[in-house]
């Protein structure tokens, strides 16, 4: 009874705050407002914080799908892995540019509850706006992340995206952006997980921040209900998100829905599939 009341209240509160479309890979992080820099999640955590792969239990495969975007990853981790490793591929399309990314992720051994990770990627941009039709540009990119376990139920993560990159003669506004994010995660009695993140504007600027909050309700051992909200001052928009997840013993399946508060026709659906092996 308490769980049902909590789920209902969560949905009512967040639905009154409101709405919109987040460009993202990963249904779990998207369903919780874009959070996840401090919350370990096997199916899409590798895209949020490279240090997470240290906490993955074993070998994992994940496939993430959204409109005009898809991603897949494979990780080899666990207690027997001295340096956990993973590969990831991401493809995103828009009216202005198509972006293809392939990356190698590594994480360090744990030191006093602290883990450092990094992803080195090769990114290919296909320009749809230039004089040369579908001209391609390639760039090397390095992302860094760290996690710190402050307790058995409380974690924190810090991520710096595009901390280093090679020079490319391509419109900077269409490239992957330099951002820094901080995330918190708190698990309450294996019943609910609270997630909260903040991210900088491009070029690590703090004059316009992106605030994100999300809640995961564990209805039972397999079913998870999610809601989230994002106040995005970079885009000057608000976002409402919701989703459901199935975490079975052989595979996981997750769904996320996003709606724009100012444009009800701007909606998005995301799906994640995760398979341990």
What CATH number has the domain bearing residue 113? Answer: 2.40.160.60
* 52: its two tokens: 């997470």
Q: State the average pLDDT for the chain.
A: 88
Q: Which residues of 120-152 are buried (b: 16+ CB within 10 A; e: fewer)?
A: ebebebbbeeeeeeeeebebebbbbbbbebeee
Q: What is the predicted pLDDT for the residue at 262?
A: 74
Confidence of residue 213 (pLDDT cuts 50, 70, 90): very high
Answer whether residue 52 shows pLDDT above 90. Answer: yes
Q: Is the pLDDT of residue 256 over 90?
A: yes
Percent over 70 (pLDDT), the chain:
89
Residues 6 or more apart from 262 whose CB is under 8 A from it? 19, 20, 237
**Residue 243 burial (CB count, 10 A):** 26
Q: Are 9 and 53 in contact (CB under 8 A)?
A: no
- Tell me the per-residue pLDDT of 18-49, one tens digit each, with 9 for 90 and over: 333 335 689 999 999 999 999 999 999 999 99
Range of the domain at 68: 2-276
Q: What angle do CA 35, 53, 224 make, to 5 degrees?
A: 45
Contact yes or no for 215/201 (Cβ under 8 A): no
Contact status, residue 258 vs residue 267, Cβ threshold 8 Å: yes
CA–CA separation, 79 and 75 (whole Å): 13
Number of domains in the chain: 1
Over range 240-259, report the average pLDDT. Answer: 94
């Amino acid at each position: 009874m308490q769980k049902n009341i909590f789920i209902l209240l969560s949905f009512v509160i967040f639905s009154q705050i409101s709405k919109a479309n987040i460009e993202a890979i990963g249904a779990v992080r998207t369903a919780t407002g874009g959070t996840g820099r401090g919350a370990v999640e096997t199916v899409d955590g590798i895209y949020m914080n490279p240090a997470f792969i240290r906490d993955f239990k074993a070998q994992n495969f994940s496939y993430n799908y959204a409109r005009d975007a898809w991603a897949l990853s494979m990780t080899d981790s666990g207690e027997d892995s001295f340096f956990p490793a993973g590969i990831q591929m991401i493809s995103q399309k828009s009216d202005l540019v198509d972006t293809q990314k392939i990356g190698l992720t590594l994480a360090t051994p744990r030191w006093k509850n602290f883990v450092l990770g990094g992803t080195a990627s090769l990114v290919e941009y296909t320009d749809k706006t230039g004089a040369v039709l579908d001209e391609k540009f390639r760039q090397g990119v390095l992302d860094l992340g760290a996690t710190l376990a402050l307790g058995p139920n409380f974690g924190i993560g810090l991520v710096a995206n595009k901390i280093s990159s090679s020079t490319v003669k391509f419109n900077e506004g269409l490239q992957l952006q330099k951002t820094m994010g901080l995330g918190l995660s708190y698990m309450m009695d294996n019943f609910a997980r609270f997630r909260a993140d903040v991210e900088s504007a491009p070029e690590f600027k703090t004059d316009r921040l992106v605030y994100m909050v999300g809640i995961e309700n564990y209805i039972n051992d397999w079913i998870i209900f999610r809601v989230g909200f994002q106040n995005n001052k970079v885009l000057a928009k608000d976002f409402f998100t919701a989703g459901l997840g199935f975490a079975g013993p052989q595979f996981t399946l997750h769904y996320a829905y996003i709606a724009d508060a100012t444009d009800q026709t701007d909606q998005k659906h995301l799906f994640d599939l995760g398979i341990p092996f």
